[in-house]
Each structure stands twice: as C-alpha cells, then as structure tokens.
Amino acid sequence: MSNDVAILGVGMHPWGKWGRNFIEYGIEAAQNALADAGLEWSDIDYVAGADTIRNGYPGFIAGATFSQALGWKGNRVSSCYAACASGAQALSIARAQILAGLSDVALVVGADTTPKGFFAPVGGDRPDDPDWLRFRLMGATNPAYFGLYARRRMEVYGATEDDFAAVRVKNGRHGLENPYARYRKAFTREEVLESAMVADPLRLLEICATSDGGAAVVLSSMDYARKHTTDPARITAISTVTPTYPEPVIEMPNFATDSASVVPAPARPFRDSIAHAAYEEAGIGPEDLDLAEVYDLSAALELDWYENIGLCAPGDAEKLLRDGDTTIGGKIPVNPSGGLSCFGEAIPAQAIAQVCELTWHVRGTAGERQVEGARVGITINQGLFGHGSSVIVQR
C-alpha cells in the first residue's frame, strides 16, 4: 500500500529581514500555494501549522493562527513544534490525516520572524534546562557545535578551509537564480575566507543567518489529485525518526553524549538513519536521486550531509564537492535553491521550503536553477533533541 500523497501546490514568501508579523509571511505563502494548486481557501479541509516559539502565543498555535488569518471556516487543524524539523512534522501530520481518509486536501504552512544575531534560549532563568545551561556554563552557542563538527572533518578527513568556502561559493551561485533567497550574491572564495571568524574554523559567511520567511504546501490524496490534475509531484516518504541509543555524536544543546560503555553505538549514525528511513519508505536508494536539499546550518555541515544521505563514503564528501558533482549541472546537485547559505533559517518554514524547491525541479519549473530531468529528490534536516526530518519528492 503506497503512502503517496500529491503535492498540488507550493508557495513561498521571500526570505529576508523585515521584522514584520510572521502571520503576514504565512498568509502570502499560503495564498501562493493555493494559487499554484488552482484551489481556493474554501477547498482546504485541514490546516497543519508549523509553530514559531519566538513570537508569543499566536506562534504556539500556528495552525489556528493561520486558519484565523485566512478566515475561520471550521476546518480541522493541528499545530506542532519540532525545532528545525517543524515543517516536516507538519507535513507528516497532514499526510497522515490524508492517508487515514480524514482529509482530502490539506494546507501545510510555517512562517517566522526572527531576532538578530545568535539564537538565544527562550527568556527566563531555567537552570534545569540544558538549552539554558549550555550558554551559562560553557558559552556554547549554536555555531560552537557546528564548529566542533567542522573541525572534526579537518582532523579526521583532512578537510580544509578551502573546502568549506567552496560550499558557500557553490551555494551562492545557485542562490543568484532564486528570487526567494535572502542573499543573492556570488561570493568569492576570498570574500568567504576574509569574513570574520565566529567559531573556529567557521566564518561568518559559512554560518547561516536567521531570517524571516514563510512557505506552504497544498497536499491531497491521490484520488483527489486524479480529479484535479495529471501527474502531480508526490511525497513518497517522510522520515521523522529519533536517534538509537547510544548516540555517540555530541548534539546541540547537550553537554555530553550517551555512553557506549554498555550498549555499543548503533552501526548507522543518527543522521544517516534519518535518510535511511526515508529511502526505505519510498523504496529507493541514494543512487536514484537527481537532487538533494540539505540543511547547511554551516558550510561544513553540508559535507557531513553528503555522507549521511549516502552520496559517498565517510570522508569523501570533499572530493564530491571539488569534482563539481554537487553543483547544478553536476551528477547530484545539492542545494540548488542556494540552501541556508542563501536563505538563512526561518525555523518552521525551512523544511517546507526544501519541499517547495524539490517540487519545482521535478515539475521542470525551476527556471535557471533547473536540474535537468529531475524526477527524484530528497530533503534532509534535523531538529534539536532528536527530531528526524527528511522528505522524498518524486514525479
């Protein structure tokens, strides 16, 4: 029995930094997705909102907030938060409703408006919360963890600062062609390496910014889609898996890993397992991919993701990049959208935006960014505290 649902429409609000109410960005993304689907708001019977936790109460119940903004009409609703995986979580919820026969056509929407600079923990004194304590006791920001992973690639695999800069340069060229990207500039290697060091070895231009943005998708059952359109893009898998104990890689916002003293570390690391679950569900493997959208929180992390999604063996990601394989026009373009490098992160919208990008490519409507003949793509991402996030889009 297939878990496929149809993607009838996708829509985004550009990423940027305007400080407007997140609801505005969500409305625009939702209306763009509805228009793309050729549907009206009245056709939607389910809304799955992805929450923002930095915008007060309306953000915690985003599904209802967006439903009210578009106009109360009694549709069913859900609101969810799963950190960077919120968008995938919302897609998963909507898909389950459709597959269970409880919804025909669902709107999935996430939007955010974000603070300047480092993500700080939610306000107040919370000495029992590791996400509070890691700032207090270690001064460990999000980039600190990314810096640890980047340095590890250098120490173990011989990755260089040139490799990390090359990721940013590649994504910059891709983002030039994306009207929704916040940063549309073809940075040079020199400009990247001259940007200020933030968390050695990562520099400012190698760490994603925080952005405003909104993205939305209209999903439907395959039955509904058949009455409405022909050959739609489909979601064929969504992975939301958690790690398997013991997790041996230090994870934000923790102080320590699990111990592998009694139970050995699993053969497949967590990030790999996120992709593996998606491949298994869709019945494909990495060799079937035409493109991938990966969560480049840092330029170095993009290289980790190449290995995690099985594009190459551990340690070979730099070669894939240097050979041009992951550039548009290469064997397996990664982040044709420009990635977080060019967008910055709008937490609840980002995983949805990844799906929007894949959809344009498999439809053949990605314009200057088009990956030739794209039919199969994967998104991959990871939320804090172990929320897997991967979606496979096919046509």
Partner 1 sequence: MGSVGYRRAVTAKARKPAVEGWFTDDEANPALLGSRCTSCGTYSFPREKTLCKNPSCMGRTFDEVELSRRGTIWSFTNACYQPPPPYVPVSDPFEPFCIAAVELADEHMVVMGQMVDGVTVEDLHAGMEVEIVLDTLFEDEENEYVVWRWKPVAAQGGPK
Among 59, 87, 147, 175, binds partner 1 (CB under 8 A): 147
Closest listed residue to residue 108, CA positions, set 116, 98, 122:
98
Closest listed residue to residue 358, CA positions, set 105, 12, 94:
12
Applying CB under 8 A, does 259 fall inside the site for partner 1? yes
Among 136, 185, 189, 331, binds partner 1 (CB under 8 A): 136
With beta carbons less than 8 A apart as the criterion, state whether 218 and 233 touch. no
CA distance readout (Å), 194 to 197, 202, 335: 8, 11, 23
- Please list, in sequence order, all residues whose beta carbon lies within 8 angstroms of the beta carbon of residue 223, skipping any fewer than 6 positions away: 104
Q: Which stretch binds partner 1 (CB under 8 A): 178-186, 222-230, 242-250, 336-344?
A: 242-250
Applying CB under 8 A, does 135 fall inside the site for partner 1? yes
Number of residues in contact with partner 1, rule: CB under 8 A?
Answer: 46
Q: Which is nearer to partner 1, 141 or 327 (CB)?
A: 141
What's the per-residue H, E or C state across 167-223?
HHHHHHHHHCCCCCCCCCCCCCHHHHHHCCEEECCEEHHHECCECEEEEEEEEECHH
d(CA 239, CA 245): 18
Among 53, 250, 284, 384, binds partner 1 (CB under 8 A): 250
Applying CB under 8 A, does 160 fall inside the site for partner 1? no
Among 200, 223, 323, 372, binds partner 1 (CB under 8 A): 200
Q: How far is the CB of 206 from partner 1 (least distance, A)?
A: 13
Interface mask toward partner 1 for 88-117; x: CB under 8 A: -----------------------------x
Q: Which is nearer to partner 1, 18 or 118 (CB)?
A: 118
* C-beta atoms surrounding 181 within 10 Å: 25
Q: How far is the CB of 262 from partner 1 (least distance, A)?
A: 4
CA distance readout (Å), 79 to 14, 50, 94, 96: 23, 6, 11, 14
- End-to-end CA separation in angstroms for the chain: 18
Site for partner 1 in 31-60 (CB under 8 A): none
Applying CB under 8 A, does 156 fall inside the site for partner 1? yes
Q: How far is the CB of 356 from partner 1 (least distance, A)?
A: 31
Applying CB under 8 A, does 310 fall inside the site for partner 1? no
CA distance readout (Å), 219 to 43, 44, 134, 223: 12, 9, 39, 12
* C-beta atoms surrounding 151 within 10 Å: 16
Q: Which is nearer to partner 1, 1 or 262 (CB)?
A: 262
Among 258, 272, 281, 288, binds partner 1 (CB under 8 A): 258
For residue 197, list its beta bridge partners.
203
Among 71, 74, 155, 267, binds partner 1 (CB under 8 A): 155
Applying CB under 8 A, does 194 fall inside the site for partner 1? no
With beta carbons less than 8 A apart as the criterion, state whether 212 and 346 touch. yes
Q: Using CB under 8 A, list all residues that contact partner 1.
A: 117-118, 120-121, 125, 127, 132-141, 144, 147-152, 155-156, 196-202, 245-246, 248, 250, 254-263
